[in-house]
Structure formats: C-alpha cells, structure tokens
Structure 1
Amino acid sequence: MSYIDFMSVVHKSTQRDYLARVNEPEYPKAKAAELAKQWAFDYWDGDRRINYGGYRYMEGRWEKVARVMAEHYGIKAGDKILDIGCGKGFLLYDFTKVVPGVEVYGIDISEYAIANSKEEVKDRLQVANATALPFPDQHFDFVFSLNALHNLHNYDLDKALREMERVGKKNKYLCVESYRNEVEKANLLYWQVTCEAFCTPQEWEWWFKQTGYSGDHSFIYFE
C-alpha cells in the first residue's frame, strides 16, 4: 500500500469560499445537505450553493488523471477497470481515450447520474451500492474510487472497503476527504454536504488495516 496523489491537480484547481458556503442564507448547510443527499438533480446540476452547480464534461479535465493512473498501473488494452462512485462516467470515458481497448465499468448510487452519464460509456455503467458490488471475486485489473467512500457511515464503509478488495486483483486506488488540523477540519465541515466519515489520515489507515484493504490511497485536504 502506497500514498500516491493523483487528485491534487483537479482538487486544487477549484477556488473555495468556505465561509460564504456555510453562511449562505437561501441554502443553509442543513438544507443544502438534505438536497445533496438525494443524489439527484440538485446534487449534480442544481444550484452551485448546493453542490456542483452543473457537472458537465470538460475536455482534458479528467484525461490527465486517467493518463497518470494508466501509466502508473500499466493499464493496457483488454484490461478491465472499475470506478466505484463513477458519477456521470467522465473519468471512465477519458480512460478509453488514453488506453484504447480498455474495458471500463462503473457503479454509482445515483440513478440521476447514470441516466445522465456520458453516452459513450453509458452501457457500462449501472446503479449499484459500493457495499454490494455486482461482480465476481478478483474480476478487475484495476479498481478505483475517487471522493466517494467518505460519504458512507461506518457500517457501510466497512463493507465497501472489503468489497473493493474482493473484486480487484492487485491494483487498487482510492481517494477520500481527510483533515490534519483544526483549520482543515473546520473547512471540511463548512464545505462538504455529503461526507459521513470524518477521519484523520491515521484513522483512515486504521480502516484500511481493519478491512484488509491492500491498495493505494491519497487524501483530499481543504486547506
């Protein structure tokens, strides 16, 4: 298991006003969270004060992430890869551009996201829960999950990490939110609308050992 940061290039490209978000009068934090946790229109394409404010495909945004992951793990044509929490499938689509012939699969709990996913990969995506992946043991050459598993309560997080380990062969990678100090903890609380697992890096390491997760990982910090 290694710490490998594939995500900062995307995460740090967004400017965030933490106080404005938590003090928003029309969508106070509790209301925004209630809407976001429906995983429907408001979460993906509704008002920016709730969450993404329009989650659309942007040429090149995810391709750079797909490229570095493909190079690091030696992904080649014919390999099967799975994205747990794939959303609209943008990263998986970019994987097909970076590695022609790769077999991509994705699951997401959001029916809205799958229904509005990238047409080129929609037939490889399905609505499913990370706690019960609909695939055989050791089915994938590469399994990854980006910014999804921290949205699970502890009892489901345990199942999801074990499932991720079960369906993958060797190469696995996940990225989750975390905090190293009180400033980052406050910023995380101010910004998030769906997070349930608020863990320090040391606590995440405990989870990995507890569940037998053997893949690589990195953390998103709200600095």
Structure 2
Amino acid sequence: MALVDFMSVLHKSTSRDYLARVNDSEYPKARAAKLAKQWGYDYWDGDRRINYGGYRYLEGRWEKVARAMVDHYDLPERPRILDVGCGKGFLLFDFLKVVPDAEVYGLDISDYAIAHSKEEIRDRLVVGNATQLPWPDNYFDLVISITTLHNLHNYDLDQALQEMERVGKNNKYLCVEAYRTEEEKANLLYWQVTCEAFCTPDEWQWWFQKTGYTGDYSFIYFE
C-alpha cells in the first residue's frame, strides 16, 4: 500500500470560489446537495452551481491518467480493469486507448450516468452499489475508484473497501477527498455536495487498516 498521486493534476486545474458556492441565492448548499444526491441530470449535466455543470467527454483529459496507471502497474496481457464509481465511463474508455486489449468494467450508483455513458463501452457498465460488487473474488488485475468512496456513510464505506479488496488481485487504487487543516476542512464543506466521510489522511489510513484494504491511494485537498 502506497501513496501514489494520479489525480492532483486534474483536481488543481479547476478554479473554485468556495464562498460563492455556499452562499448562492438560487442554489444554496442545502438545495444543491439535495439535488446532487439524486445522482441524476442535476448532478451530471445541470447547473454548475449544483455540481459538474455538464460532464462531457474531453479528448485526452482522462487518457493521461489511464496512461500513468498503466505505466505504474505491472498489468498482464488482456488485463481486467474495474472502475468503482465509473460515472459515464470516460476513464475506462481512455484505458482502451492505452491498452486496446483490456477488458474494462464499471459500476455506478447513477442510472443517469450509465444511460449517458460512452456508447462504445456502455455494455460493460452496470448500475449498482460499491458495497456489493457483482464479480467473483480476485477477478480483476486492476481495481480503481476515483472520488467516490467519500460519498458513502461509514457503515457502507466499511463494506465498500472490503469489496474492492475482495474482487482485486494485487493492483488497486483509490482517490478520496480529505483535509489537513481547518481551512481545507472549511473549503471542503463549502464545495462538496455529496461527501459523507469527512476524514483526515490519518483517519483514512485507519479505515484502510480496519477493512484490510491493501491497495494504493491518494487524497485531493481543497486548498
């Protein structure tokens, strides 16, 4: 298990006005969160003040992340790759640009995301919950989860981490939101609309040890 940063390059490319988001007159934080947690149109393609404001495929954006992972992990021929919380499948689609013979699979809680996913891989994506992955033990050569698990309550987070460990072989990676200072904690609270697990890095390490998660990880911070 190691700290491996694949995601900060994307996270830091977005500018954020934390106070404007939490104080918005039309979509104050409570309303935005209520809409976002339906995981439908508003979350993905609705107003930017709610969440993504239009989650569209951008050529090359996720390919550099996929390539960094492939360069880092020793994957076999025809690797099986799972993305837990795959959204519209953009990262999985770009994995196929880097490893054309890979078998990619994705799971997401959002019916809307799967219905509006990349058509080329839609038949490899399923609607489901991270607490119950519908695959056998040790099935995947790489299991990833990007900015997903912090959206779970503690009782579900426990099971989801165990499930990632169960279905994966040696290579696993997750990225979650965290905070190191009171300023970062406040910014996270202001910006997030779906987060349930508000943890410091040390608390995340506690979760990993408690659940037996042995994969790699990284954190994103709202500085």
TM-score between both structures, scaled by the size of structure 1 = 0.99
Deviations 1:72-96 (A, max 9, x none): 0133541000000000000000000
1:113 maps to what in 2?
113
Whole-Å separation in 1 of the counterparts to 2:68 and 2:190: 31
1:9 maps to what in 2?
9
Question: Is the Cα–Cα contact under 8 Å of residues 75 and 99 in structure 1 kept in the other structure?
Answer: no
Q: State the Cα distance separating 1:183 from its structure 2 match.
A: 0.4
Q: State the Cα distance separating 1:190 from its structure 2 match.
A: 0.3
Question: Is the Cα–Cα contact under 8 Å of residues 77 and 100 in structure 1 kept in the other structure?
Answer: no
Deviations 1:7-47 (A, max 9, x none): 01110010001011001000000000000000000000000
1:193 maps to what in 2?
193
Whole-Å separation in 1 of the counterparts to 2:77 and 2:15: 36
Whole-Å separation in 2 of the counterparts to 1:178 and 1:14: 17
2:58 maps to what in 1?
58
When the two chains are superposed, the root-mean-square deviation of aligned CA atoms in Å is 0.6
Question: Is the Cα–Cα contact under 8 Å of residues 76 and 99 in structure 1 kept in the other structure?
Answer: no
Amino acid at match of 1:72: H
Whole-Å separation in 1 of the counterparts to 2:50 and 2:43: 7
- Does residue 30 of structure 1 match 2:24? no
2:100 maps to what in 1?
100
1:211 maps to what in 2?
211
Give every structure 1 segment of 4 or more consecutive aligned residues whose post-TM-superposition deviation is greater than 6 Å.
Answer: none
- Does residue 123 of structure 1 match 2:123? yes
Give the gaps of 5 or more residues in structure 1. none
Q: State the Cα distance separating 1:56 from its structure 2 match.
A: 0.1
1:84 maps to what in 2?
84
Give the gaps of 5 or more residues in structure 2. none
Q: State the Cα distance separating 1:179 from its structure 2 match.
A: 0.1
Q: State the Cα distance separating 1:171 from its structure 2 match.
A: 0.3
Amino acid at match of 2:109: I
Q: How many residues align?
A: 223
TM-score between both structures, scaled by the size of structure 2 = 0.99
